[in-house]
Homo-oligomer: A and B are copies of this chain.
């Protein structure tokens, strides 16, 4: 992207709604012989709509963004489109998780040159890392591409790593590590303390209320893949929690929190986390397609074999969120 690069994002700049977007797929994206599966027009449209709706940042190329299933050429084209469209109106993070330190360095460097503000990245997942290995990975990456902000993709299932306090304490010293995307707020206070306020921990929208109550001062941002089913409820939640922090009356925030919690039940397989882990791409893309706010398209291989039960959960989840979106938009 032309023009001056935004300086390295600071922790204080990480606030509000961080929408997680899919990588829109063309109709034949499920075939292994497809070589160009990204719907770039829909990609640009999503970015425009997200910014218009008022999101504060964008995360892409994570699990549901099919980081693992895209070719490098596809990722490069997608990143270019996202960055060009956003045109620095909001910070853009792209995923450069790979099986290797050096390949992540390569991809992150190019993403940086293309104009991305940061990478959402987890440690190489072939072998379970120990803490020393995981920390060194983030050190190497930030040494190699110092202009790029890092969002630690703290998913224990994907990365076979439980991201303990000793990990947070060490990566907190890396200036590039400004944020993290854990699954929930269950260890919010513990990890906040371990990272000494130097990393913004973003819970999922469904746990933002919890984080905000646990620590109203530091809990000022959250991630939302639901935003790709329609961003209005997430934007509303941001506002209600901010108001509650002012007034001390949390009842309206709690009510929306509960409605959001109910709306995501189908796509977490009503609590069967094992099943969710196997099918989360199909569940997320399925609900986005059903909600209709964007076109995520079909799943790329190997995750294109979708049991009917899972497809149904996706549809139910999309319909549930569409009701909320209609009400809050």
Q: Which A residues fall within an 8 A CB radius of B?
A: 32-35, 63, 67-71, 98-103, 105-106, 123-130, 132-134, 136-137, 140-141, 143-144, 157-158, 164-166, 186-187, 189-190, 193, 209-210, 213-215, 248, 258, 261, 271, 274, 277-281, 300-305, 307
Contacts and interface: CB of A to CB of B under 8 A. Distances in A.
A129 B258 contact: no
B129 A126 contact: no
Contact of A301 (B69, B100, B157, B187): B100
Given A98-B99, A186-B186, A130 B68 contact: no
Given A102-B301, A128-B277, A133-B305, 5 more contacts: A63-B126, A70-B100, A128-B274, A130-B307, A189-B210
A193 B305 CA distance: 26
Copies in the complex: 4
A274 to B, nearest CB: 8
A127 B164 contact: no
A interface SS class: helix
Contact of A303 (B127, B193, B274): B127
A9 B30 CA distance: 29
Given A102-B71, A140-B302, A127 B187 contact: no
A281 B127 contact: yes
9 contacts: A67-B126, A71-B103, A100-B300, A100-B301, A125-B126, A126-B158, A127-B280, A133-B278, A134-B302
Contact of A143 (B32, B70, B71): B32
Contacts of A71: 100, 102-103, 106
B279 A130 contact: yes
A277 B35 CA distance: 35
A189 B209 CA distance: 10
A207 to B, nearest CB: 8
Contacts of A280: 127
Looking at A68, A98, A140, A304, the one whose CB has the most chain B CB atoms below 10 A away is A68
A302 B69 contact: no
A190 B206 CA distance: 11
A54 B126 CA distance: 31
A144 B305 contact: no
A10 to B, nearest CB: 24
A99 B71 CA distance: 10
A210 B190 CA distance: 10
A246 to B, nearest CB: 11
A35 B109 CA distance: 14
The 7 closest A-B pairs by CB, nearest first: A101-B301, A68-B99, A68-B126, A186-B186, A32-B140, A137-B302, A132-B305
